[in-house]
Amino acid sequence: MVMRVIAEKTLRLFWKQRADARGALEAWLEHLKRVEWNTPADLQRDYGNDAVLPDNRAVFNIKGNKYRLVAHIHYKSQILYIRFIGTHAEYDRIDATKI
């Protein structure tokens, strides 16, 4: 089973506004189509300690940390829900553990 992303439309809308993010987000999506994370430790092996947040949430650095993406991951069903995408400064104004 491969990871499904809900909702990819969010990413497409984001890169329409910030075209420089498109290539990095497309590469991130392609990577997700090849992974199977069953636990946060699996995610940690791919992205390191900083990616894993409490309550099955994760933060991903996009385009060299210019953008950040926060997701909630349901490991059993292999579904990743996008909760936030924005600039690093916008990320600093949210609580990634609750969004």
In a domain, 98, yes or no: no
Whole-model pTM: value is: 0.93
In a domain, 99, yes or no: no
Per-residue HEC secondary structure of 33-60 comes to CCCCCCCHHHHHHHHCHHHEECCCEEEE
Could you give the percent of the chain with pLDDT greater than 90? 84
Provide the number of structural domains found in the chain.
Answer: 1
Rounded Cα distance between 27 and 66, Å, is 15
Phi and psi (nearest 5°) for 23? -60, -45
pLDDT by residue (tens digit) across 22-56?
999 999 999 998 988 999 999 999 998 889 999 99
CATH at 30:
3.30.2310
- pLDDT at res. 61: 94
Structural domain boundaries, residue 80: 4-92
- pLDDT at res. 1: 73
In a domain, 44, yes or no: yes
In a domain, 97, yes or no: no
86 has a pLDDT exceeding 90: yes
